[in-house]
Amino acid sequence: MKIVYIAKVLLPSRTANSLHVMKMCQALADNGHDVTLYAISEKENIQKDIGGIYRYYAVKNNFSILWIRALETKESRLRYLFSSFVLIGAIARKLLFKSVDLVYGRDLLGCTVSALLGRQTIYESHAPVWRSHLEKQLFKLFIRLPKFTKLVVISKALQEAYFSKYKNLNHSNTLVAHDAADIPSNVSSSNPLRGDLNRLNVGYVGHLYKGKGVEVIMAVAPLLPNVNFHVIGGLEKDIRYWKSEIASDNIFFYGFIKQNKLPNYIQNIDVCLLPNQKYVSAYGAKGGKSKNISDFTSPLKMFEYMSYRKPIIASDLPVVPPDGINLWKSAIDKLSDSSLRQCLGDNAFTTFLAKYTWKKRAGYILASVHQ
């Protein structure tokens, strides 16, 4: 099939959504399809080094990237409406003059234009659309169009939320597809971790903003002075803040690590943490309850940890509430047992291979279209 993927995304960037988009485009192509990404961006300095973008995300150069320039929309509602019409025209022109079998997207406006033009269209949602009045109305139109093919969501909770809001959505036109990861590659024998490597090495990979759980690491590290804690990722301002808050010398910050360098770090970690809190902001959010994604998230990092055969301690399990610091300590203590770590890691990897590679995710979604 000839597939167009539409997403409003800045490339390259550190956002999880940009990584998700690039991995999905690679995975669709890995399933034998001709894929073109329509990357919608408001930024003027659109990256011209295409090869550099593939390398940045550690993906194959097996799909094409085409940029669609959108106008900045921050000044006023009128400018937002004008820019939307400009964007509609740009997407329509591209789709009208391209032979396309399927349009897949994370941009609701682009997907609606596609369906209006008679293209079979799948929309993927990672959060409720009804938090924005304009998106709410646009989505109502989209799911009534004959070429609306499927709504893909990343968690069962998000699917149930959609079912409660839209009576014409059901299990036949909605699909739960959890996030995924690649099988690790480019892992060398070098160990970039700092500190006494004979200790238990516990790691966290991800952003350091509100709700991601760095506060858990800060609280538990002093209770386990013979354990190293490695924090990989985060903006410089966030790293400076957390460094100013800690009193332990067993926490090491590494900042942002590029995708092609990340395997060496995760490979050398013994235990991986996913300490999400009850409130998790989306990357770039200004705050406010409307930005909380904790109820619906399907963390990319969990599947990445599984792909490295790592035991995981995660929040929101009955035995490990997100703010139960002594329970976090107890869980880490238990995983000082290397045989237990090996058993849990092997089980995680087996489940990952069976269900959670990007290629399997893309194949599962496409197969549902023909059911």
Q: What is the pLDDT of residues 241-281, one digit of tens each?
A: 999 988 899 999 999 999 989 999 999 999 999 998 775 55
Helices 338-355 and 300-307 meet at what angle, rounded to 10? 110
Q: Alpha helix locations (H) across 60-148?
A: 77-96, 108-116, 133-142
- Phi, psi values for residue 67, rounded to 5°: -90, 140
Q: What is the pLDDT of residue 290?
A: 45
Instruction: Write the pLDDT tens digit of every residue in 36-90.
Output: 999 998 766 566 688 899 999 999 999 999 999 887 666 566 666 777 888 899 9
The pLDDT value given to residue 46: 62
Identify the pLDDT of residue 324: 83
Question: What's the rounded Cα separation, in Å, for the pair 301 and 272?
Answer: 9
Q: CA Rg, the chain, in Å?
A: 21
Task: Provide the pLDDT for residue 80.
Answer: 65
Q: Are 56 and 24 in contact (CB under 8 A)?
A: no
Tokens of 182: 């690649």
Q: What are phi and psi of 2, to 5 degrees?
A: -95, 115
> For domain 2-180+357-369, is the CATH number 3.40.50.2300?
no
**pTM score, whole prediction:** 0.90
Residue with tokens 């109502």: 140
| CA 71/CA 88 separation, integer angstroms | 12
Length of the chain in terms of residues written: 371
Structurally, what CATH architecture does the domain formed by 200-355 represent?
A: 3-Layer(aba) Sandwich (3.40)
pLDDT tens digits, the chain, 371 residues: what are they?
999 999 999 898 888 899 999 999 999 999 999 999 999 987 665 666 888 999 999 999 999 999 998 876 665 666 667 778 888 999 999 999 889 999 999 999 999 999 999 999 999 999 999 988 889 999 999 999 999 999 999 999 999 999 999 999 999 999 999 999 999 987 888 999 999 999 999 999 998 987 788 999 999 999 999 999 999 999 999 999 999 988 899 999 999 999 989 999 999 999 999 998 775 555 544 444 445 555 666 789 999 999 999 999 998 744 455 568 999 999 999 999 999 999 999 999 999 999 999 999 999 999 999 76
How far is Cα 60 from Cα 8, in angstroms, rounded to an integer?
21
pLDDT score at 319:
46
Gap between the Cα atoms of 296 and 261, Å rounded: 29
CA angle 313, 315, 320 (to 5 degrees): 75
pLDDT value of position 323: 62
pLDDT of residue 75: 56
**Coil, strand or helix at 318:** coil
- Inter-CA distances, 152 with 179, 240, 355, 360, 361, Å: 11, 38, 16, 15, 11
The candidate with the shortest Cα–Cα distance to 325, out of 244, 174, 243, 215, is 215
13 by Cβ neighbours in 10 Å (0-12 / 13-18 / 19+) ranks as: middle
DSSP codes joined into one string, 225-278: TTEEEEEEB--HHHHHHHHHH---SSEEEEE---TTTHHHHHHT-SEEEE---S
Q: Where in the chain is the domain with CATH 3.40.50.2000?
A: 2-180+357-369, 200-355
Give the three-state DSSP class for 72.
coil
Other beta carbons within 10 angstroms of residue 38's beta carbon come to 25
Best CA proximity match to 210, nearest among 154, 127, 293: 293
